[in-house]
Amino acid sequence: MKRLRDLSTRDLFPGGFFYLAIFILFVSFGFILLSQTIWDYDFWWHIATGKYIVETGSIPTTDPFSFTSQLPENNNLYPLRERFIMTQYWLAQILFYLLYNNFGPAGIGVVRAVLLLGTVYAIYKALKDRGASPYIIYLSVFLSFVSLLRSLGERPVLFTICFSIICFVMIDDFMRRRSRSFYFLPLLMLVWSNLHGGFILGDGVILVFMVIEGMKLLFGKSGFAEREKIIFFLVLFLALGASGINPNGFFGFMIALSKEYAPFYVGINEYQSPFLLYKMKVSSLDYGYLTALFLFPVILILRNRKFNPTHLVILILLAAASVSAGRFTVYYGIIASLILGDELNLWLKEHREKFVLKQAHLDIAFSIIMLGSSVLYFVGMTNLKSLKIRESAWTVPTGAANFIINNHIKGNMLNDMGIGGYLTWRLYPEVRTFIDTRSLNYTVMKEYTWMATATESIYNTKLPPGKTPLWNRLLEHYRINLIVFNPLDIYGNVLPLTMKLLDDDNWVLVFSDINTFIMLKNVPENEQIIKKFRKTNDELYNSIIVKASFYAQSNKGNPLVMEALGDIFEKMGKTDDAIKAYKYALKRMPESPGIKEKLDKLMEEKPEVRK
């Protein structure tokens, strides 16, 4: 009979089943990551900036891509923020551009897979080095990967995800076993701070370790010898200093902490609480994150006062940040996977007398469960046919860009914010965008919002007689010649401007697919293109129906896409279909007065449908 402390990996997993199970799990993870499309809206302005840096030999400090940013009336109210965004990612932008330019989407997809698999491997290696139970390692590895599944965007943040774990492990390993990898921490922070502004997370981790260890020194509870104390604090000070060697120094802390920049984040998905988004039914639950959040207090109670104080502070801070903004859930998920796995393993070792495996066949049973789980996951989640990295057909407006290029369309463009980066990548410098997801200029951002939402007046709830709507005045002010918009926004809404334009004879639909539609101003300069490519409104309606139907299937709790379908069906005169769509929307969100009002109106027009 063996106790838990006497059990080796080979005992628990006969024939190396543990390593086989882990290997299959990692192969599955690799397949999943290499099957993802290139879909992130931000990716395109990153590589456009990388191309600009490579070709000009300089890092731009102001936006060269948007025609609105060049206008004197749009003097930037927040120039430091613009400079930060333009310069902070320069190294990652060059790398991404060179990879994409030489290897296409595959180069970016492979780097994404390497960075995210590297994150999971760092957790696996750290727990293994700490002598964790194979079961804990297996579960922690799986939990960490599930936590990463919502962070697959091709952005410099991938480096922050990977480096945050490496940074934590470097420091923690030095405190445990005086690992020499700790000496490379300043170099890591130097590189990180020129790849992504998230290096301040690493600085935060460093500061927590320094403060907690400083308190231990004050109370005489430090585990370091005198020389080790000097090395520990010296390396951490050097790492903090190295992180400041970037185009913006430590201004990233100001961006993250100052309320001055809060207006830029209103309504942005990743800055909202994940629980609020779920309550609004525009986002599903992240079960990996929720599992890690639930396990934290459980393991904290089990460990009682023996929970590592540094680990505790880091997890509390990350948990608080993740509850308030969804962009932090991935960091909590991966770091919690490591810390909670480590703390649970320590608790098991302390209570090993209670965990005695009495029969050898029980060992085999556990082995089979782990190996079987890996095999089932591999079979269920991998598909050789999908192992092709390509640009997303749903988020990349290739068709619209090709249409503009092939027909030599010029003039000022009002574009959907989401696709601004891609249009910059394809069209600059011949055609410049109005805005993109960087939202560099607050004035431009507000005016874009007024146009997209078809705001008639910002001073009156109802437009006074004889007055031109604000959205129309802005189109005239900016001399907009073409409008390139997404049929639906990221939440599933049809933008109000879309509906206004379809009823406006001054604008003509000339292109439409599931990603985008293009409208040209009905002026003599565009007469030939309009004559050749004029489309009916029904073609755009059909594109919206296709995309909304896809959204409705992928997120069955979101009422907005069903409401959008109802709006389109009503516009097309398909009242019965509109009523069905509104009913489904109301079923998903019964408390919505807007949906109920639309449904009641149609029901009054067709009383026979009440039955």
More confident residue, 199 or 604: 199
pLDDT, tens digit, for every residue of 518-530?
Answer: 999 999 999 999 9
Query: Where are the domains positioned within the chain?
Result: 36-65+83-247+275-354, 398-536, 555-611
Beta-bridge mates of residue 482: 413, 520
| Residue corresponding to tokens 């909202």 | 272
The confidence score (pLDDT) of residue 259 equals: 87
The confidence score (pLDDT) of residue 346 equals: 93
**Torsion of Cα atoms, 131 then 137 then 143 then 144, to 10°:** 60
pLDDT, tens digit, for every residue of 398-407?
Answer: 999 999 999 9
Average pLDDT of the residues of the chain? 91
The confidence score (pLDDT) of residue 279 equals: 83
Would you tell me which CATH number, out of the four given (3.40.50, 1.10.287, 1.10.3470, 2.60.40), belongs to the domain 398-536? 3.40.50
Q: Does domain 555-611 have CATH number 1.25.40?
A: yes
% of the chain beyond a pLDDT of 90:
71
pLDDT, tens digit, for every residue of 510-555?
Answer: 999 999 999 999 999 999 999 999 999 999 999 999 999 888 888 7
Distances in Å between the Cα of 496 and the Cα atoms of 175, 254, 397, 447, 547 are 57, 35, 20, 14, 17
More confident residue, 158 or 10: 158
CA distance 36 to 390: 8
Q: Are 366 and 135 in contact (CB under 8 A)?
A: yes
The confidence score (pLDDT) of residue 353 equals: 60
More confident residue, 25 or 384: 25
pLDDT, tens digit, for every residue of 60-107?
Answer: 999 999 999 889 999 999 999 999 999 999 999 999 999 999 999 999
Helices 199-218 & 309-324 angle (0-180, nearest 10): 140
The confidence score (pLDDT) of residue 607 equals: 63
In the structure, what pLDDT confidence band is assigned to residue 262 with cuts at 50, 70 and 90? confident
pLDDT, tens digit, for every residue of 325-344?
Answer: 999 999 999 999 999 999 99
Tell me what the mean pLDDT of segment 254-267 comes to: 85
% of the chain beyond a pLDDT of 70:
94
Residues 6+ apart with CB under 8 A from 359: none
The confidence score (pLDDT) of residue 15 equals: 44
Tell whether the model's pLDDT for residue 17 goes beyond 90: no
Tell me what the mean pLDDT of segment 224-239 comes to: 95
The model's pTM is 0.93
CA distance 167 to 187: 11
The confidence score (pLDDT) of residue 5 equals: 45
Tell whether the model's pLDDT for residue 267 goes beyond 90: no
Tell whether the model's pLDDT for residue 282 goes beyond 70: yes
More confident residue, 384 or 9: 384
pLDDT, tens digit, for every residue of 423-470?
Answer: 999 999 999 999 999 999 999 999 999 999 999 999 888 888 889 999
The confidence score (pLDDT) of residue 8 equals: 45
The confidence score (pLDDT) of residue 9 equals: 45
